[in-house]
Structures are given as structure tokens and as C-alpha cells.
A and B are shown apart, each in its own frame.
Chain A
Amino acid sequence: MIKKKAMLIDITLCVGCNACQDGCKSENKLAAGEEKRLSPSAYTALNEYNGVFVRRMCQHCDVPTCVSVCPVGAFTKLSEGPVLYDADKCIGCRYCMQACPFQVPRYEWSSTKPRVQKCKFCAPRITNGLQPACAEACPTGATKFGDRDELLREAYARINAEPDKYVHKIYGSDDVGGTSILYISSVPFEQLGFDTKLDKAPMPLLTWNALSKVPNVVTVGSVMLAGIWWITNRRTEVQRYEASQKQSTTTQTQDKQ
């Protein structure tokens, strides 16, 4: 059984040095240069809120919305954690961008053959036992890579050790069913651009509730429609037959006279 991997991002330890983005860019061979927002050439970016730095990136959800909404299955979830994208399948409907609860996927709008871009959780590295480039690059330990269970325990331990410093929440532990990226912070999450109102249940359940009814609609619907057709058709037949009978009897009586 492969252990689920995760990254714990301790916002209190981040100094905003941008080493994570640099490491990411060189690992993924993206155009160099500091970027303040996620983009097709920045899989991670530091957002600043009054001197507090929050690292944005794909959350690699346990039950990813993008995997569920993609009509061609261009997204896959690896059991280690990474959510990966296959540009050769993608038709460019951008439903993933519309549906992602964290608004992470970025599109190559300027290209005539655009692809969706987002963090790959350095899947090739972590399947080879290495840590992601950003975690390796982080000089303060604000980003720590490891097994998800262990990192959750560590996050609890850090909060318990300094309960006055930390907000009593691990963002990502159970939001939208849990994510591979976990955040702890000393500033309330809603002040740092996090959506704290997201449901604890995975988002794909919302559409699955509707989609799972499709087979029923088809079977019940076709039987019902065929039944209604048969009944109404029969009624018309009977009416016409009775009308023709009446007509023939009247013509017969007319003949006799």
C-alpha cells in the first residue's frame, strides 16, 4: 500500500524569500522571473497579506473536483497524492477552471494550442522517493514534505505546543474531503484569502447526486413514455374504429331504406 504524501505549509515560518517558486520553475523548466500570482509559468506563488506570506498552489485534493468534471478524463489522481493533467486528452472546455474550489488551474490563453497548467506535486520526484522541488528549496522549513498521516500529527503537535499562537485549524485536513496540502497559520484563514466556507464533503458528490439519477431517468422514462404512447394511441384507435363502425351501420340502414 502506497502511503499518501502531503506537504505541511506553516505560514508562520514563511519569510517570503520565493525560493519555492524558483525551485519549482527550474524543476519544471518554466520561464524564470518572480511572479506574484499563479500563472501558466508559475505553479506556485506567494501572496502577501500585511507581511504574512501565503503560498498558493494546487491543493491535490483527495477527491479532486477537476478529475470528476473533466469530460475526457484528462485529470488523474495518483495514490501518492498528485493530481496530474494530460494535455493530449484535453479539449479545452475549461470546466476544471470553472469548478476548482481553489481556483488553481491556469490556462495558456495566449497560445493557439492552449494547455491547462498547474502544480504537478513533482510526481516524478516523489514516486522516486525524492521530495518536491519547492520543499527541498524552502530554507525555513515552512514547506515540509512527508506522509500525510505523519504531517497531520505534526501539525496538531505544533498547534498544541503553542495554542495561543496558532489558529486551531489545519486548513486542508478535511476541507472538500481533505487535500494533500495542509496549512497552519497564526492569522485567521479567512483573512488570508482562504475559503473557509467550503463543505467538508468532496465537491464531486454534488454533481454525482444528479448524475447518478441518469440511468433511472432513462429506464423509467422510456418505459413511461412508451406506455403513454401505447395508451393514447390505443384510445385514438378505438375512437376511430367506433366512428367507422357507426358510419358503416348508418350507411347500412340508409341502404335498407
Chain B
Amino acid sequence: MKSFSLPRITVWRVIAVVLIAAGTVAALARFTLGLGATTNLSDEFPWGLWIGFDFLGIGLAAAGFTIVAAVHLFHADRYEPIVRPAILTAFIGYLLVVLVLIIDLGRPEHFWHPLVMWNPHSVMFEITWCVILYTTVLSLEFASIVVERFKLHAPIRWIHNMSLPFMIAGVLLSTLHQSSFGSLYLIVPNRLHALWYSPLLPILFFISCIASGVSMVIFETLILSRNGRTLLAPELRANLAKIIAVTLGIYLVVRFQDMSSRGVLHEMMIVTYQSIAFYVEIVIGFVIPLALLMSRRVRYSRRGLFISTALVLIGFAANRMNTAVTGMEIWPSRTYFPSVLEILITLGIAAIGFSAFTLVARYLPIFETEQHDEGASAPSIYDVVTDTQMVSRPD
């Protein structure tokens, strides 16, 4: 182990500290002065930037369930090296969303009410339960990394024995609430612009979160592996990139097929604030990365992948923000732009997320499994399931 030394001061660290400090002050202001004095939310626009951030946080965390499903349920073992980064991303993403929700709720001290006061007819109720349960699953998945780091063997075994039902539960819970974020808007056909409102919103939200979740993991590993380290083998990255491309393709087909069957394609032809936002979202976030990722050269190039996954993430953010904000705006009677404090709180929470990810990735075995070969790899919670199965001779 290296001897303890003072952390180096880098530009990114300074920015992170400043953002977190500013965000904390802004959050204190929000709790002491109330939502009205600190945000631009209003009766006409009760949901704003923070709801958009929730969509982002959850969507970017989607790799947590897709990769776990691929590796541990479908036995696509070659993606094993990104299981842990994906779980870490998801865990942090969900914790950030919970944090934002607490700030966004008018009565944060009542946050536990959905646990005892049920309304199964409410999409929000379903989302609350899914988020609570899935965060629990993620914390167990994450706990296995922590106990491995501290070599606590008893809890590892304890977690192992329950891993299969937990993984299945995790995948189902994610599927449900990723799509339910879209379902939230099913009830506002009169308010959400036709370019975004669709009965297929849950399905569209689900498809797009797969592309963004996988992009997020590639994007992170590319950033973290800058100093000559390679955290993901190029073939693996290229394969994942192919999955993103296929998902983007499916998404575009479903989106435009749905728009044409609802007869709203003509909305694209009129130049409005909304149609411009629509073009930005579709072209930058879906069409260009799809075109880029269809090229083998891009899929094997670090810079190409970096740009394409960044575009997917931007497009995903644009899609969620357009659904939450742009599509709900009517000029000039109902408009919204976040206040400085809303933006500061959001940036502060994002900075907490990035800092947490880099810190955890430094001190816990997140990117290590790939360096070991199969036999020597530290047992993850999932390996034991397959190991115990291995004992019985197939007959």
C-alpha cells in the first residue's frame, strides 16, 4: 500500500469542490426559504429541472441492470469486466436521484409516506417503490464489492446465496420504472407537445435508457483510462458500441413509426421552438451517433467512441429535458427556465456523483477483475452461483 499523502490539487478537483460547496449553500437556502423563493417552479410549471435530472440520473444508471442481465443472467461472460463499473454507476446514479427528490419534494420529511400509504393506481407510487427496492438491490450488489475489498468472507457467502433472485428482481424493477418514467406523462396528452407525447412513451423510455446506460459506462471508462491504462479491451468496447448502434436504430424506427401512425409527422415541418428542440435531440443524439457507430473504424477508435457516446448522452439528456420541460411549454403563458439556485443545486449534486465515482473507483476493486485470469479472479457474488452449479455433474 502506498503511504498516505495529501491529495493533489487539480483543476477538476477545485471545480468539484466549488460546485459542491455552492450546491450545499443553495440547498440550505431552498430548505430555509422554501421552493417559491429559490426556484422558478410555479403553478403553471410544477415540474422543472430537477425532474429532468431524475430522469437523467436513472437513465444513465441503466447499465446497472442491462449489464448484470447480460453477464449474470444470459451468461455473456465476456462483458464481465464492466459489471462493476455499471453497478457503481447505477448505485451512485440512484443515490443522487434520491438526493434530488428530497430537495424537490415540497414535504421531504414525508418521503416515507408511500411505504405505508398506498395508491397502486399511481405511476408515481410504482416508481417510488421500484426505486426504493432497486436501490436496495444495488446496495447489496455494491456491498459485495466492499466486503471483497475488506476480505470479509462470511458476508460474501451470505450475499452469494441470494444473488440469483436479487439479480432477477433488479432487472425487473429497472425495466418497470425506467419505462414508468415515460408512463408519468401518459396522463398529460393535453399538455405535452405531440412531438413527445405518445402512448408508447414507456417503451421509448425503456429503449433509450439501454443506449444511454451502455454509453455512460463506455464514456466513464474512456475518461478514467486516460493515463495509458486500458480499463476495457478494445474488442469489448467495440461490441458494446455495436449494441448501442442497434438500440439507437430500433429507437428511431419505433419513434418515427409511432409518430407517423399518430399522424404528427407534420409537426416536424413547422418551425417552432419545439420542432427545433426535436431536431436537435434526434439529429445530435440519435442519428449522428448511429451513423458514426455503424463504422467499424469509429467503434475501434477511442476518440470516435468518446464522441459518439458523448453524443448519445447529450441526445438522451435532450430527450428527457424536452419531455419534462420543452414539450410542456406554451409560449408565452407557460414557460420555465431554472433559477440560478436550481442550477447550482443540480450542478453540486452532479459534482458529488462524479467525485464519488472517481473516489470509489480508486479505492475499491471496480476495474480490477479483468486483469486476473478466470481461475484467479477474486470471487464476485455471482461467481459462486455458477461454482456451486458446477459441482453437480451434468447428466
Contacts and interface: CB of A to CB of B under 8 A. Distances in A.
A206 to B, nearest CB: 5
B176 A217 contact: yes
Nearest to A92: B106
Contacts of B372: none
B105 A91 contact: yes
A214 B125 CA distance: 12
Interface residues of B, number: 64
A98 B110 contact: no
B7 interface: no
Nearest to A94: B46
Contact of A237 (B122, B169, B389): B389
Of B44, B172, B175, most A-chain CB atoms within 10 Å: B172
Nearest to B31: A112
A199 to B, nearest CB: 7
B190 A197 contact: yes
Contacts of A71: 113-114, 119, 122, 124-125, 127-128
A93 interface: yes
B73 A229 contact: yes
B266 interface: no
Interface in A168-222: 195, 197-199, 203-204, 206-211, 214, 217-218, 221-222
A221 B175 contact: yes
A204 B292 CA distance: 42
B189 interface: yes
A106 B77 CA distance: 53
B176 A236 contact: no
A69 B123 contact: yes
B36 interface: yes
Interface string A126-155: 000000000000000000000000000000
B125 A210 contact: no
A225 B120 contact: no
B209 to A, nearest CB: 15
A203 B33 CA distance: 35
A107 B172 contact: no
14 contacts: A39-B43, A68-B121, A68-B122, A71-B114, A71-B122, A72-B110, A72-B125, A92-B107, A98-B47, A109-B43, A114-B106, A222-B172, A229-B168, A241-B393
Contacts of B175: 217, 221
A221 B104 CA distance: 33
- Secondary structure at the B interface, as helix, strand, loop or mixed, is helix
Interface of A: 38-39, 65, 67-74, 89-95, 97-99, 101, 103, 105-114, 195, 197-199, 203-204, 206-211, 214, 217-218, 221-222, 225-226, 228-229, 232-238, 240-241
Contacts of A92: 105-108, 110
Contacts of B6: none
B164 interface: yes
Contacts of B394: 234, 237-238, 241
Interface string B108-148: 10110110011111111111100000000000000000000
B118 A73 contact: yes
Contacts of A111: 34, 36
A70 B123 CA distance: 8
Contact of A107 (B32, B43, B74, B121): B43
Of B43, B184, B190, most A-chain CB atoms within 10 Å: B43
A107 B104 CA distance: 14
Contacts of B202: 210
Of B44, B111, B114, most A-chain CB atoms within 10 Å: B114
A93 B105 contact: yes
Of A71, A208, A237, most B-chain CB atoms within 10 Å: A71
B37 interface: yes
A222 B124 CA distance: 23
B75 interface: yes
B384 interface: no
Contact of A229 (B107, B164, B190): B164
B163 to A, nearest CB: 11
Contact of A98 (B37, B46, B171): B46
A169 to B, nearest CB: 17
Nearest to B34: A112
B251 to A, nearest CB: 18
B122 A91 contact: no
Contacts of B128: 71
A218 B172 contact: yes
Contacts of B36: 108-111, 114
A105 B46 CA distance: 10
A6 B41 CA distance: 33
Contacts of A236: 75, 77, 386
B172 A204 contact: no
Of A39, A70, A240, most B-chain CB atoms within 10 Å: A70
B375 to A, nearest CB: 12
A211 B183 contact: yes
Contacts of A234: 394
A109 B41 contact: yes
A94 B106 contact: yes
Contacts of B77: 236
A103 to B, nearest CB: 7
A221 B390 CA distance: 26
Contact of A112 (B32, B42, B43, B190): B32
A118 to B, nearest CB: 11
Of A38, A39, A99, A107, most B-chain CB atoms within 10 Å: A99
B33 to A, nearest CB: 7
B346 interface: no
Contact of A93 (B117, B120, B124, B179): B124
A111 B393 CA distance: 67
Of B72, B111, B183, most A-chain CB atoms within 10 Å: B183
